[in-house]
Amino acid sequence: MFYNLIGGFLWTVGITLLGYYLGKMIPADRVDKYLLPIVFGIIVLSFVPSIIHIIQERRSHKKD
């Protein structure tokens, strides 16, 4: 439970600070230009662990 609380806290603070600093860096009239690549990057990064796991499983089954 301790790690879950720490992870939740870090996630909340991290996302809030990221939004704050990105809001200061990106001009309001160009948000839509930057938003789509950021969302796409997040989606791709969320699939990377699953893809790595699938590749490792296939390699381990080929060795057997």
- Tens digit of pLDDT for each residue in 18-59? 889 988 888 878 777 888 888 899 999 999 999 999 999 999
Decide which of 12 and 32 is more confident: 12
d(CA 58, CA 36): 33
As a whole number of Å, the CA-based R_g of the chain is 18
Q: Is residue 16 classed as helix, strand or coil in its secondary structure?
A: helix
For the chain, what is the domain count? 1
Widest CA span in the chain: 57
Range of the domain at 11: 2-63
pLDDT computed for residue 61 by the predictor: 83
pLDDT computed for residue 45 by the predictor: 95
